[in-house]
Chains A and B, each alone.
Chain A
Amino acid sequence: MSTKSRLERRFADLKAQGRGGLVTFTTAGDPTFEASLELVLGLPGAGVDVIELGMPFSDPMADGPAIQASSLRALGAGMNLARTLDLVRRFRGTDEDTPIVLMGYYNPIHSYGVEAFLADAKAAGVDGLIVVDLPPEEDDELCLPALKAGIHWIRLATPTTDDKRLPSVLANTGGFVYYVSIMGITGTREVQADAVRVAVERLKRHSELPIAVGFGIKTPEQAASIARVADAAVVGSAIVERIKGGLDDGDRPRPAMVPDVLGFVRALAAGVRKARNG
């Protein structure tokens, strides 16, 4: 058995292939548990390298309208944290290699109980956690227990994270660093590849970890331009918008929803794959 984690193996593979990776974000349970599971099961085949799953929350402060709405759709359809872990478990039953990172806010985990959550998440096959409202100042809460449980803690670095703050942001971070490419919330502004290049170079001076860049990447072309300068591109709101586009008036998925979203993901994956050798 390898001592490397799934995330470490995946980024090592990407490096060996000489290409940047594609990370997708969808909210677990959006629009329903079943449709969400079907979609997630299709992601690796569509070319996704790392799966990021949102843990639905009633008050997603760092998210824009698209992801807010997806969270509410999932909650409305009866999603909760236990079912999110169940979704991961079901996925893991079919795929041992694709890393899954859960992203969300602290309160549902706090409510579930930190120790119970970490044990259940580990058992379900969760590889990393991104918890937006837990900065380094609050590492005792969940970050350190997660590391002890063998789950990566993935921190967001942002344009406001100056050189003085970077070391504390990077300490305890593992798997990859998630660079937030815009000032603001998800799905609002468009990414600027040149600014990202500079930022990634700065991060690389402080860390050996792979750098994934997200917030504001909407098209295969943008994903490609980011994959050229970073280790992976994260696409969230644009996929979530596609999901919404595939719903009927009652927010139920139309039959074409999953194939359509996977088609879009395939285009993103193709963009990312062409980026370095095209």
Chain B
Amino acid sequence: MTSLNTYRGGPDEGGHFGQFGGRFVAETLMPLILEVERAYTAAKADPSFQAEIDYFAKHYVGRPSPLYHAERITEHLRRGDKGAKIYFKRDELNHTGAHKINNCIGQMLLARRMGKKRIIAETGAGQHGVATATVCARFDLPCVIYMGEEDIERQKPNVFRMKLLGARVVPVTSGSRTLKDAMNEALRDWVANVDDTFYIIGTAAGPHPYPAMVRDFQCVIGNEVREQIMEMEGRGPDSLVACIGGGSNAIGLFHPFLDDKNVRIFGVEAAGLGLDTDKHAASLTGGRPGVLHGNRTYLLQSDDGQILEAHSISAGLDYPGIGPEHSWLKESGRVEYVSSSDAEALEAFQTCSRLEGILPALEPAHALAFVVKLAPTLPQDHLLVMNLCGRGDKDVFTVAEALGTEI
């Protein structure tokens, strides 16, 4: 484990977090991502850009989202004199029901500054697709969402939502017909429509500057947590927990705290049917470094470097890669990466619904499943913050099916 002055300094000019990240894209896209980088650098330096984001975050998204003391879960996980005090960061209360909108507002405002006339995006669970379609409706730009055929089947409510919002949802039939293929297809669209199109990537992955840019837009989560917990507890948190698909909600919570040496940080990947099977989505705990979708990062891949299909009960975690900053945070030892299985997430989903009156999305249910294991081992004055990054309405069909119930 290296000891650094700061864990918050990345990426470098080439978009690298240690050996991870970079700009591994076709020449056709290179001028575009350089243009996005220039535009984003300029926007960041312009106070009116942040002011615009803040305005929409407050009045349209509904920020700040509450930091909520989950009292009944806390009680439920007490063992003798042990049992951490559990807080939920309620990003599921955002407009559109997940953290994804934080990023979409930011990228949309950037796309407008750049004069782009058409928006494309990939989506897995459909949450990012819905958030993108939402901002496209609000800012009156045509919207094309690429979504794997497989995901369209298991996320029907979100597909219809996107259509109601005026987006065109294009089924992706190539490869494994899930999120990675949707991203391939969006990149193909972008290559063919470079002049007028902005690609709103939905997670902290892709070529530089996306991982850093998406992180920046999601850091509102961690920044709010810091203020809120100071107000409620008079001090900072002791540990942070978030689920990881591509890693955007997690990096948004983690990044502001990376240099708070006493804060333990846990990223929770999807273990699907188990890490000892080939049906999981845990790129960090079950994969190895490779290059996909514009960056070097941990990937699920065969011995020959072919990308493998990921599996998770949660479509939003079903991605064989992960944002490059997480790969670096793993190798540097700053963040601990663990995993929860389909079954554990399903159990946590029900626990949260019954005890707190909150249907969590299946994605943060993975984070909660880890909290269920972690909290009982910690002292009662230990402050644990979990990112409840999405609500579970979209998942009721999946959950019903998994529980063998017909609705």
* Residues in A lying within 8 Å of B, measured CB to CB: 57-62, 64-65, 68, 72, 75, 80-82, 105-112, 132-135, 137-138, 155-162, 165, 169, 180, 183-185, 188-189
Contact = CB atoms under 8 A, between A and B. Distances in A.
Interface residues of B, number: 37
A80 B306 CA distance: 9
Secondary structure of the B contact surface, majority rule: mixed
B301 A165 contact: no
Contacts of B10: none
A57 B296 CA distance: 16
B22 A138 contact: yes
18 contacts: A59-B292, A62-B26, A62-B28, A68-B175, A111-B304, A133-B25, A137-B14, A137-B30, A138-B22, A138-B23, A138-B24, A158-B27, A160-B27, A160-B194, A165-B31, A184-B28, A184-B188, A185-B192
Nearest to B299: A107
Given A59-B180, A135-B26, A135-B30, A107 B307 contact: yes
Q: Which secondary structure dominates chain A's binding surface? A: loop
The 8 closest A-B pairs by CB, nearest first: A111-B305, A184-B192, A108-B305, A80-B304, A58-B306, A158-B28, A133-B24, A107-B305
A129 to B, nearest CB: 14
A58 B31 contact: no
B315 to A, nearest CB: 18
A64 B188 CA distance: 8
Interface string B163-202: 0000000000011000011001001100111100000000
B303 interface: yes
Contacts of A169: 27
A188 B181 CA distance: 18
A12 B23 CA distance: 35
Interface in B4-41: 14, 22-32
A24 B175 CA distance: 25
B294 interface: yes
B174 A160 contact: no
B399 interface: no
Contact of B188 (A57, A62, A156): A62
B137 interface: no
Given A107-B291, A185-B191, 16 more contacts: A58-B306, A59-B180, A61-B293, A65-B174, A107-B292, A111-B290, A112-B304, A135-B23, A137-B14, A137-B22, A158-B28, A169-B27, A183-B192, A184-B28, A184-B188, A184-B191
Contacts of B181: 59
Given A57-B306, A75-B306, A107-B305, A180 B292 contact: no
Contacts of B32: 160
A162 B35 CA distance: 13
Contact of B31 (A57, A162, A189): A162
A106 B24 contact: yes
A192 to B, nearest CB: 15
A56 B25 CA distance: 17
A180 B194 CA distance: 14
B175 to A, nearest CB: 7
B27 A180 contact: yes
A62 B24 contact: no
Contacts of A110: 289-291, 296, 305
Which of B24, B29, B192, B307 has the most chain A CB atoms inside 10 A of its CB? Answer: B24
A132 to B, nearest CB: 5
Contacts of B303: 111
A161 B25 contact: no
A187 to B, nearest CB: 11
Contacts of A111: 290, 301, 303-305
Contacts of A188: 192
Interface in B235-284: none
